A and B are shown apart, each in its own frame.
Chain A
Amino acid sequence: MSRNHIGAGLPIITAKGVYKSFDDGKIEVLKDVTLDIRQGEIAALWGASGSGKTTLLYIMGALDIPNYGSVSVAGLNPSSEMERLALRRKKVGFVFQLHNLIPDLTLRENCMVTCVATGGDSRQYRQRFDELSKELGIDHRRDRRIQELSGGERQRVALCRALMHRPDVILADEPTGSLDEKSGKLVFTLLKDLARKEGTTVVMATHERRFSQACDRIFHVRDGKVSELGIQ
Chain B
Amino acid sequence: MSFLRLIFVNLSRHRVRSMIGSAGIAFGVAAMLTVLSIVLGAIGMFERILSSDSHYLVFEKNVSDLFFSSVPQEAVDSIRGMDMVDAAYPLLFGIVSSEDTPVITCFGVSSMDPRLDKAEWLVGDRDSFGKLNKTIYLGSRAAEFAEVELGDEIPIGKNVLVVGGILKMENGFENGGVFMPLKLAQEFFRKEGYSSIVAIKLKDTSTGSAFKEKVEADNPDLMALANEEFSQSYSQFKILSATAWGVGVCAFLLGGMSVANTMLMAVFGRIREIAVLRVCGFSRIQVGMMIVGESLLLACVGAVAGLLIGYLGLRVMQGLPQLNGYVKPVFDLWILTGVAGVAFLTSIAGACYPAWRAMKIQPAEALRYE
A residues in contact (CB < 8 Å) with B: 54, 58, 61, 63-64, 81, 85, 88-89, 94, 96, 100, 102-105, 108-109, 112-118, 122, 161, 165
Q: How far is the CA of A229 from the CA of B3 in the complex (A)?
A: 45
Contact between A104 and B283, CB atoms less than 8 A apart: no
User: At the interface, yes or no: B276 with Cβ under 8 Å from chain A?
Assistant: yes
By size class, the interface of chain B is 20 to 34
**Which 7 pairs of residues, A with B, have the shortest CB-CB distance?**
A117-B281, A112-B1, A89-B281, A64-B364, A63-B364, A100-B276, A109-B1
Q: How far is the CA of A116 from the CA of B3 in the complex (A)?
A: 6
What residues of chain B lie closer than 8 Å to A161, measured between beta carbons?
A: 280
What residues of chain A lie closer than 8 Å to B323, measured between beta carbons?
A: none
In the complex, which residues 255-281 of chain B have their Cβ closer than 8 Å to any Cβ of chain A? 272-273, 276-281
Distance of A1 from chain B, by nearest CB (Å): 13
What residues of chain A lie closer than 8 Å to B111, measured between beta carbons?
A: none
1/0 contact trace for B16-48 toward A, CB 8 Å? 000000000000000000000000000000000
Question: Which of B1, B6, B12, B278 has most A Cβ within 10 Å?
Answer: B1
Contact between B13 and A103, CB atoms less than 8 A apart: yes
Q: How far is the CA of A95 from the CA of B277 in the complex (A)?
A: 13
Can you name 5 A-B pairs with beta carbons within 8 Å?
A94-B279, A102-B276, A117-B282, A122-B1, A165-B281
Q: Which of A58, A63, A109 contacts B5 (CB 8 A)?
A: A109
Contact between B280 and A54, CB atoms less than 8 A apart: no
The SS class assigned to the B binding surface is helix
Question: Which of A61, A63, A94, A161 has most B Cβ within 10 Å?
Answer: A63
Q: Which of A61, A96, A102, A108 contacts B273 (CB 8 A)?
A: A102
Given contacts A85-B281, A100-B279, 8 further A-B contacts (CB under 8 A): A58-B364, A100-B367, A102-B273, A102-B276, A105-B9, A108-B1, A113-B1, A117-B281
Distance of B358 from chain A, by nearest CB (Å): 15
User: At the interface, yes or no: B233 with Cβ under 8 Å from chain A?
Assistant: no
Q: Which residue of B lies closest to A103 (CB)?
A: B13
Q: Which residue of B lies closest to A98 (CB)?
A: B272
Question: Which of B5, B277, B281, B286 has most A Cβ within 10 Å?
Answer: B281
Distance of B152 from chain A, by nearest CB (Å): 71
What residues of chain A lie closer than 8 Å to B281, measured between beta carbons?
A: 85, 88-89, 114, 117-118, 165
What residues of chain B lie closer than 8 Å to A64, measured between beta carbons?
A: 364
Contact between A113 and B6, CB atoms less than 8 A apart: yes
What residues of chain B lie closer than 8 Å to A116, measured between beta carbons?
A: 1-3, 6, 282
User: At the interface, yes or no: B368 with Cβ under 8 Å from chain A?
Assistant: yes
What residues of chain B lie closer than 8 Å to A63, measured between beta carbons?
A: 278-279, 363-364, 367
What residues of chain A lie closer than 8 Å to B13, measured between beta carbons?
A: 103-104
Q: How far is the CA of A58 from the CA of B363 in the complex (A)?
A: 9
Q: Which residue of A lies closest to B270 (CB)?
A: A102
Q: Which of A94, A104, A117 contacts B12 (CB 8 A)?
A: A104
Q: Which residue of B lies closest to A54 (CB)?
A: B368
